[in-house]
């Protein structure tokens, strides 16, 4: 049975996943981390949990948090980030600029790539840096 929570796909298989596919995966990884962080830190309860989650997962906030980790990325991670940033997205939410949406997509692609690579320790490390000042 495959352990999808702790998956580790071979590099060739990950390279075959589109930037949008990696961002799709990373979006879920990021939201799970945010929800876990909020619950673990008692930041919100009840209806406030949803508002707090939305505030942290929106594109402008993701773009802001991405800036915190950019200096820490390896060359390989930077390449994945650029690939995600350059993804051909067709619609941008009204509450975000194109640049913010590109940065958010890049962050999500990086997190998706790390997750699918089995680099859960690195995901946790980068997420901790993103959340230091929150």
Active site residue 3: no
Residue reference for tokens 């596919």? 21
**Annotated active-site residue in 12, 27, 50, 121:** 27
Other beta carbons within 10 Å of 89: 14
Find, among 52, 80, 51, the residue nearest to 66 by Cα. Answer: 80
Torsion angle, alpha carbons of 103, 105, 110, 116, to 10: 170
60 with 100: CB under 8 angstroms?
yes
Active site residues: 27
């Amino acid at each position: 049975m495959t352990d999808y929570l702790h998956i580790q796909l071979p590099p060739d298989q990950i390279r075959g996943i589109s930037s949008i596919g990696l961002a799709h995966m990373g979006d879920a990884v990021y939201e799970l981390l945010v929800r876990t962080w909020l619950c673990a830190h008692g930041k919100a309860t009840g209806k406030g949990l949803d508002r707090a989650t939305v505030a942290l997962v929106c594109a402008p906030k993701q773009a802001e948090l991405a800036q915190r980790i950019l200096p820490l990325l390896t060359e390989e991670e930077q390449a994945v980030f650029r690939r995600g940033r350059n993804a051909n997205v067709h619609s941008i939410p009204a509450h975000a600029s194109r640049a913010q949406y590109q940065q958010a997509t890049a962050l999500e692609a990086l997190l998706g790539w790390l997750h699918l690579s089995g680099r859960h320790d690195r995901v946790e490390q980068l997420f901790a840096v993103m959340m230091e000042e929150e």
